Amino acid sequence: MKTICLYFEIHQIINLKRYRFFDIGTDHYYYDDYANETGITHIAENSYIPALTALIQMARESEGAFKVALSLSGVGLEQLERYAPQVIDLLQELNDTGCCEFLAEPYSHGLSSLAPNCEECFKEETKRLVDKVNMLFGKKPKVFRNSSLIYDDEIGQMVADMGFKGVLTEGAKHILGWKSPHFLYHCALNPDLKILLRDYKLSDDISLRFSNPSWEAYPLMADTYIDWIDRSPEEDGIFNIFMELSALGIYQPLSSHILDFIKALPACAKARGIRFATPYEIIKANKSVAPLDVPYPMSWTDEERDISCWLGNVMQREAFEKLYSIGQRVLLSGDRHLRQDWDYLQASNNFRFMTTKNNAVSMDRGIYESPYDAFTNYMNILGDFMQRVYWALPQDMEIEELNAFQTTISNQDKKIQSLEKQVARLKSAVKQSKASKSEKPAK
C-alpha cells in the first residue's frame, strides 16, 4: 500500500537589531523586539492558526486515518510562548487527536551538527528540545530532523548515538543517483538509524508552485495530486512530503485556497487506497532496502541541495568558526543569559543573510542592505558576546582546566545539597521531639 508521510516545520527567525562597533562592551541586548513580535504575530494569524485549525479538523473528520508530523525549533517555541500562545494551544489540541508525531531537532535551529569538536553542543541542544517537547506535549520524539534537513554519514552516526530510530533528510539527486526517494534507507555508518527522504518535487509543488498561474499544472486539484502518487510505479511505497508550515498561508496565500486543497487530500487518498502515516510508524512498518552513502553534507536548500548558502563564502566561514570556537565554554558556564544568546546567535538564518550566491529566488535580508552589512552587524554582536563568555570563563584557561574546575564546583554543589538535606532532617527531628514533649503534660 502506498503511504504519504506529511511533515511540517515550525521555526521563527530571531531578528537582530542594528549593533555598532562602539556598542561592544556596553550593550548586551542584541534583538529587535518590535520586529520579532510583529513577525510572529503576522505569521501566526496568516498561517499557523488557520493551518493548525485545518489539520485538527482533518484529524477529527478522518477518525484517525489522517496523520501528520511536526518539528518545532526551541527558539521558535520561545517566540510562540511569548507572542502567540494561542498557537501552542492549537498544537496541544492537535496532539490530543492522537494523529500527530513530534520530531526532534537542534534547539537553536542552528549549524552545530557541522561544527568540528562541537558534538557535545549538538547533542546538548537536541536533548533540550526533546525535553521541551516532552514538557509541552507529553511525548519524547523518536525521529530526528536536522535544521534544513542537513545530513551526512557522520551526522547520522551522532543521531543514532542519541538513540533516535530515524532521521529525515532531502532526496537529493546527486546522492540518490538512480535510486528512488520512495523507499526506506539506513545510515551507512549505523544500520539501526533509518532514513526517510523528501520527495522534493511533490513537496515543492505545494510549497513553491501551488499558486503560480504560469505553472503547467495550475490550478492544482487534490485528486490530480493524489493521482500522481497513485500512478507511480507499484514498488514505490513511501511518499515523504516535507515543508515549512508557513507554506500554508505565507508562501501560498490563503486566498489561493491552499487549505481547501490540503483538507481534500485525505478523502482523495482514501478513495485510491493510499494511507497516511507518521515517520515512526513508517520505520516500524517497513524494512530498509539499502544503506545511503552521504559523504558530504546535504540539505533541502537551494538548487544545489548542499550547505553553500550558510558556509559558501569566507565571511560565513569566519563567523561560523568564531561562534563555535566558544561553544564548549558556553555550555560549561551554566549562565542562563549566555545560553539563550548562544541559541539565538546560532540560528542558521544569521549565516544565510551573509550569502553571496546568485539565486533565482530573491531573498529578504531584513535590515541588511547586503551580505557584507549582515556580516559586519553579526560580527559586532559576536564580539560583545565572546567578551561576555571570556569574562565568565577566562580565555587563558584550557577546556581541560575548565572541565576540572566545573567538576569541582559540581561536586561542591552536591555536597552542599547533601548537607542541606541532613540539616532539614535534623530540624524536622528536633521539631517532632519538641512536639511530643509538649503533648505529655496535656495527657
Q: What is the pLDDT of residues 286-330, one digit of tens each?
A: 999 999 999 999 999 999 999 999 999 999 999 999 999 999 999
Q: Would you kindly state where each structural domain of the chain is located, as residue ranges?
A: 3-292
Q: Which of 54, 72, 95 is CA-nearest to residue 10?
A: 72
* CATH for 3-292 (3.40.50.300, 3.20.110.20, 3.90.1150.10, 1.10.260.40): 3.20.110.20
Q: Are 178 and 205 within 8 A, CB to CB?
A: no
Q: Which of 260, 261, 371 is CA-nearest to residue 309?
A: 371
Cell, residue 96: 490530543
Query: Per the omega criterion (within 30 degrees of 0), is the bond before 266 cis?
Result: no
Give pLDDT, residue 68. 98
pLDDT surpassing 60 at residue 400: no
SS3 280: helix
Give pLDDT, residue 417. 73
The packing angle between helices 74-83 and 336-346, to 10°, is 110
Concatenated DSSP letters of 14-76:
-PBPP--GGGTTT----B-HHHHHHHHHHHIIIIIHHHHHHHHHHHHHTTT---EEEEE-HHH
Ranges 11-20, 46-55, 389-398: which has the least confidence? 389-398
pLDDT surpassing 90 at residue 279: yes
Type of residue numbered 295: P
C-alpha 439/C-alpha 80 separation (Å) is 56
pLDDT surpassing 70 at residue 370: yes
Q: Are 51 and 259 within 8 A, CB to CB?
A: yes
Q: What is the largest CA-CA distance in the chain?
A: 97
Q: Which of 1, 3, 5, 8 is CA-nearest to residue 249?
A: 8
pLDDT band at 443 (very low <50, low <70, confident <90, very high): very low
Average pLDDT, the chain: 92
Give pLDDT, residue 364. 78
Cell, residue 42: 503576522
pLDDT, average across residues 231-249 = 96
Query: What percentage of the chain reaches a pLDDT higher than 90?
Result: 83
Neighbours of 62 (CB within 10 A): 17
Neighbours of 221 (CB within 10 A): 13
C-alpha 294/C-alpha 309 separation (Å) is 19
